Amino acid sequence: MKPVFREVYSFDKKCYEKYKLTEDILMEHAANAMADVIKSRVKKGSTINIISGPGNNGADGITLGRILLGDYKINLYLPLGAKSEMAKLQLERFMAVGGVIKETYEKCDCLVDAIFGSGLKRDLNKDLVCLIKKMNNIDALKIACDIPTGIDDEGNLRPVAFRADITVTMGAEKLSLYSDIAKDYVGEIIKADLGVAFSKYRGKTDYHVWEKSDLVLPFRKKQNSHKRTYGHLGVLAGDKKGAAVLAAKAAFNFGCGLVSVVTHEYFNLPYEIMFSEKIESSFNSLAFGMGMGNYFDDEIHKLLNFDMPMVIDADMFYKDIIKEFLKKEKIVITPHPKEFASLLKILGFGEYSTDEIQKNRFILAEEFSKKYPKVVLLLKGANKIIAFNKKLHIDPLGSVALAKGGSGDVLAGMIGGLLAQGYHPLKATMMASLAHSIAGNYEPNYALTPEKLIKRLEEIA
């Protein structure tokens, strides 16, 4: 798990005021970090094009050019000139070691975007939009300085962005690097330290990104145990019963000792999954909403009388009664953006389109968690957001292979299975999310099915 931050300017300021460092020192470390990346991936003598902006992000790029000049052919471009004091100073140094400013764009082996870093708050003008599009069409290793130009503080495009293979972000990782939209532009993210240890540089944060190494699978360590030791999950099957079956199979394959499908009409189930006509007192957790439709509308209110942990999905986010479930303890909800928009409307947050949800994922997830701090929210997307107790956790490990009907049913079942095994709702959600994402990294990425996803839970151990 690693911390991410909405802004790092206050940390830079701490370096100047508390540690007596200067902009110059921080800039040298930033440029050297980029230089190390290039030296490890681009052979000496190759041509490197650096497109630098007018401010200090551009100055980082100019400094990089001076460091690499001599070992590489450096083409420096300043489409907006050098305007900040540091950009002017670094340009003087670059020229002093023999560097020249180029006017005509040449072919290159590596392209560095150092036009604008974090903090962008306005749309790029037409000339810059045209330039970014040209840069994206160049066949070269593409590296972004701090954050790809065109991505703003919320991770949205303004209106286009540089498509990097690698982003070397300065000082600390920014929250905006982990938006769904940014995922197609940032590439591999590498953090550059700026003259002090990261522990000295950073401050407090309510945002964390989870990594593969954080995954703890539900291995059974106690030999003297039996099936009920590992919990009993009840899954409600509604109009689309296949959704409940997928959730049930996923829970069973993720360590749950017993799984029952609850429905009033018997239908064929996998041999290992049990059938029940009612909610049993022996259940340790419930999963419902997936494929439910209006099947349980006349009796859904009865579920409010149960104190067991619950994972709620899909069709429940279109029903007013969801408000009552969110008052309970040990609740996990797993909406996708359209479902989240419906939920927010029901709860009085306002009306949002799916696009508006996507552009404001962090803000809206945070606002929800402030109002419902005891509820675990998993907002699905290219990068899953898990909000609990006013803090955001991000799972960036999923792939586009998961963009298939049934993937969410599998995830809900996995969470429900861990809840039945006694996991805290946040831990159940995080561990299920990570396992779901890792198992979903499948090739070819168009061929993953829910059944294959469930099977792959065995392969990530």
User: What strands, in cross-sheet order, belong to the sheet with 141-145?
Assistant: 73-77, 47-52, 110-114, 141-145, 166-170, 188-192
Q: Which residues contact 56 (CB under 8 A, 6 or more apart)?
A: 23, 27, 84, 86, 87, 117
Domain ranges (residues) in the chain: 2-205, 213-456
Q: What is the mean pLDDT of residues 67-78?
A: 98
**Short-list 370, 394, 377, CA closest to 175:** 394
What is d(CA 59, CA 57) in angstroms, rounded to the nearest whole number? 5
What is d(CA 385, CA 339) in angstroms, rounded to the nearest whole number? 14
State the architecture of 213-456 in CATH terms: 3-Layer(aba) Sandwich (3.40)
pLDDT in tens, 216-248: 999 999 999 999 999 999 999 999 999 999 999
Predicted local distance difference test score (pLDDT) of residue 211: 97
pLDDT in tens, 358-416: 999 999 999 999 999 999 999 999 999 999 999 999 999 999 999 999 999 999 999 99
Q: What is the mean pLDDT of residues 288-313?
A: 95
Q: Provide Rg for the chain, Cα atoms.
A: 25
Predicted local distance difference test score (pLDDT) of residue 371: 98
pLDDT in tens, 161-201: 999 999 999 999 999 999 999 999 999 999 999 999 999 99
CATH superfamily to which 2-205 belongs = YjeF N-terminal domain (3.40.50.10260)
pLDDT in tens, 119-170: 888 999 999 999 999 999 999 999 999 999 999 999 999 999 999 999 999 9
Q: What is the mean pLDDT of residues 257-283?
A: 94
- Confidence label for 461 from pLDDT (cuts 50, 70 and 90): confident
Q: Which residues contact 154 (CB under 8 A, 6 or more apart)?
A: 176, 179, 359, 360, 362, 363
What is d(CA 34, CA 413) in angstroms, rounded to the nearest whole number? 43
Q: Are 249 and 453 in contact (CB under 8 A)?
A: no
- Please list the alpha-helical segments (H only) found in 97-196: 126-136
pLDDT in tens, 80-130: 999 999 999 999 999 999 999 999 999 999 999 999 999 888 999 999 999
